[in-house]
């Protein structure tokens, strides 16, 4: 990487402010991608996703294929909160995504409460398109240092 990385010291009184600034700088670099490492830009982001969910009310298999997301590069980090507990580090990020455009092919099969879901009864995946605006989200991550 050709540019300097912001270094924040855990015992600094402005650690969260420094961490927020560092993450904002890193996000703008990530959004552009790193072609030298074969890491694509975030706009557009092309991805494939498969997940299974099992909870009291949701039991489903979701497959998303040939999908494109546009708008992630405009994500703003509004606030950062960090917590240290011995060898554990927890971080919370308040994010704002002004607009996110999604399109691709999707299949969902399962149950949502008493309702059966099956978007591809003929084994054919269906096209989807979605525009999400003003997404405000808190992400929480925990790390163990060993």
Q: Is the pLDDT of residue 74 over 90?
A: yes
CATH number at residue 69: 3.15.10.30
Residues 2-56 pLDDT 10s: 567 788 888 888 888 999 999 999 898 889 988 898 888 889 988 888 888 888 8
Q: Tokens 């010291």 identify what position?
A: 9
pLDDT of residue 98: 93
Domain boundaries, position 119: 14-133
Residues 81-125 pLDDT 10s: 888 888 888 889 999 999 999 999 888 889 988 899 888 777 777
pLDDT of residue 103: 93
With H, G, I as helix, E, B as strand and everything else as coil, classify residue 145.
Answer: coil
The answer as to whether 67 is a domain residue is yes
Q: Is the backbone of residue 74 left (phi > 0), alpha (psi -120 to 50) or beta?
A: alpha
Q: Which two tokens stand for residue 78?
A: 């509004």
Among candidate residues 31, 21, 23, 132, the one with its CA nearest the CA of residue 72: 31
Domain count, the chain: 1
Q: Which two tokens stand for residue 101?
A: 């455009």
Contact yes or no for 137/97 (Cβ under 8 A): yes
Residues 27-39 pLDDT 10s: 988 899 888 988 8
pLDDT of residue 139: 81
Q: Which two tokens stand for residue 77?
A: 């980090």
d(CA 46, CA 77) in angstroms, rounded, equals 22
Q: Is the pLDDT of residue 145 over 80?
A: no
pLDDT of residue 108: 86
Range with the largest mean pLDDT of 33-42, 57-66, 70-79: 70-79
The answer as to whether 104 is a domain residue is yes
d(CA 133, CA 34) in angstroms, rounded, equals 27
pLDDT of residue 34: 87
The answer as to whether 1 is a domain residue is no
């Amino acid at each position: 990487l050709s540019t300097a990385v912001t270094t924040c010291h855990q015992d600094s009184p402005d650690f969260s402010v420094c961490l927020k600034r560092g993450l904002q700088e890193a996000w703008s670099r990530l959004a552009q991608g790193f072609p030298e490492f074969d890491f694509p830009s975030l706009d557009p982001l092309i991805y494939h996703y498969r997940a299974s969910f099992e909870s009291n009310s949701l039991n489903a298999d979701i497959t998303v294929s040939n999908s494109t997301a546009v708008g992630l590069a405009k994500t703003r980090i509004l606030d950062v909160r960090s917590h240290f507990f011995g060898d554990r580090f927890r971080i919370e990020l308040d994010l704002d995504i002004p607009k996110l455009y999604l399109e691709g092919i999707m299949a969902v099969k399962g149950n949502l409460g008493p309702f059966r879901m099956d978007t591809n009864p003929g084994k054919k995946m269906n096209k989807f398109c979605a525009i999400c605006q003003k997404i405000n989200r808190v992400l929480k991550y925990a790390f163990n240092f060993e």
